[in-house]
């Protein structure tokens, strides 16, 4: 006899389970969790299992909760938006504005990273809603400084959260703190300034993405680490 088609309830349960498995794989990529670390996590939370495909729904939900605590954020689907037609201004000041705006979005300080949203910010700051027409360098400089001040307020918490996530993933030593990083990557700058905070953020980004970068450990002196970084770059 042919197999009976699944009931509506069974199909819904299967779809929910598939959704949870997919979400776990998205979370792994998002927080860049190594495969052996992930399998150890599954074994710990799912009674010795090593694959999400073997887990129950309750175990899958338990794994997702742990990944959220490690830094994963579930993103809501974005509504389709009409394509922006305005060309990008490419002068150095506009490029700087855009880079800081994208950074603010990356750390969760803004809801949008589009050119239109940047133009709206620029209009609030200068009265002009297009980088092409903000001709006075003083206007763009004021907007840049406004964005840098905003980012300097948001980056400390973002840095702490990223360090915590990277510690959970085994990328950083458990006793590494923000001031250890500042002492190495921006030793001559006030740690509260945008430039110093941005240097720390860039080091963390390079480290988390596995790009070639020098180690920073609490036991090493800034001079030792800077010397090692210089030799690595040479």
Each residue's pLDDT tens digit, 123-162: 777 776 655 545 566 777 888 899 999 999 999 999 999 9
Please calculate the CA angle 12-16-22 and round it to the nearest 5 degrees: 145
**Residue 84 lies inside a defined structural domain of this protein:** no
221 and 185 assigned to the same domain: yes
Residue 71: phi and psi, rounded to 5, are: 120, -5
25 and 129 assigned to the same domain: no
Contact 49, 43 (CB under 8 A): yes
228 and 113 assigned to the same domain: yes
135 and 219 assigned to the same domain: yes
Query: pLDDT tens-digit profile of 29-56?
Result: 888 888 888 888 888 888 888 888 888 8
**Residue 60 lies inside a defined structural domain of this protein:** yes
d(CA 132, CA 128): 9
111 and 202 assigned to the same domain: yes
222 and 106 assigned to the same domain: yes
Name the token pair of 53.
């495909």
Nearest Cα to Cα of residue 21 among 46, 49, 56: 56
**Residue 52 lies inside a defined structural domain of this protein:** yes
**Residue 169 lies inside a defined structural domain of this protein:** yes
**Residue 191 lies inside a defined structural domain of this protein:** yes
Check the CA dihedral 32-33-35-36 and report its sign.
Answer: positive
Of 28, 54, 69, at which residue does a domain stop?
69
Least confident of 4-18, 54-68, 69-83, 179-193: 69-83
- Helical packing angle, 222-233 and 178-185, nearest 10°: 60
CA distances from 178 to 105, 213, 226 (A): 21, 17, 16
**Residue 133 lies inside a defined structural domain of this protein:** yes
131 and 222 assigned to the same domain: yes
d(CA 169, CA 33): 6
Number of domains in the chain: 2
Nearest Cα to Cα of residue 165 among 98, 186, 157: 157
60 and 115 assigned to the same domain: no
208 and 123 assigned to the same domain: yes
**Residue 2 lies inside a defined structural domain of this protein:** no
Give the confidence band of 77 by pLDDT, cuts at 50, 70, 90.
low
Domain of residue 51 covers 14-69
Query: pLDDT tens-digit profile of 95-123?
Result: 888 899 999 988 888 888 888 888 788 87
59 and 145 assigned to the same domain: no
Nearest Cα to Cα of residue 195 among 228, 131, 140, 149: 149
**Residue 218 lies inside a defined structural domain of this protein:** yes
51 and 152 assigned to the same domain: no
What is the reported pLDDT for 136?
Answer: 62
51 and 164 assigned to the same domain: no
């Amino acid at each position: 006899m042919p197999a009976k088609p699944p009931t509506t309830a069974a199909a819904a349960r299967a779809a929910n389970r598939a959704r949870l498995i997919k979400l776990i794989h998205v979370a792994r990529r998002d927080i860049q969790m190594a495969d052996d670390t992930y399998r150890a996590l599954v074994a710990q939370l799912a009674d010795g299992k090593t694959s999400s495909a073997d887990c129950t729904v309750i175990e899958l939900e338990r794994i997702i909760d742990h990944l959220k605590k490690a830094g994963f954020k579930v993103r809501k689907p974005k509504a389709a938006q009409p394509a922006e037609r305005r060309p990008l201004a490419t002068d150095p000041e506009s490029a700087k504005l855009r880079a800081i705006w994208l950074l603010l979005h990356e750390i969760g300080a803004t809801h949008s990273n589009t050119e239109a949203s940047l133009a709206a910010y620029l209009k609030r700051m200068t009265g002009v809603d297009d980088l092409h027409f903000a001709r006075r360098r003083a206007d763009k400089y004021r907007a840049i400084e406004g964005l840098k001040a905003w980012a300097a307020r948001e980056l400390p918490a973002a840095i702490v959260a990223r360090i915590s996530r990277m510690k959970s993933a085994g990328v950083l030593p458990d006793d590494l703190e923000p001031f250890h990083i500042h002492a190495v990557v921006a030793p001559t700058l006030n740690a509260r300034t945008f430039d110093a905070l941005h240097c720390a953020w860039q080091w963390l980004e390079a480290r988390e993405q596995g790009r070639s970068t020098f180690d920073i450990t609490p036991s090493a002196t800034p001079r030792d680490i800077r010397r090692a970084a210089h030799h690595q770059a040479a």
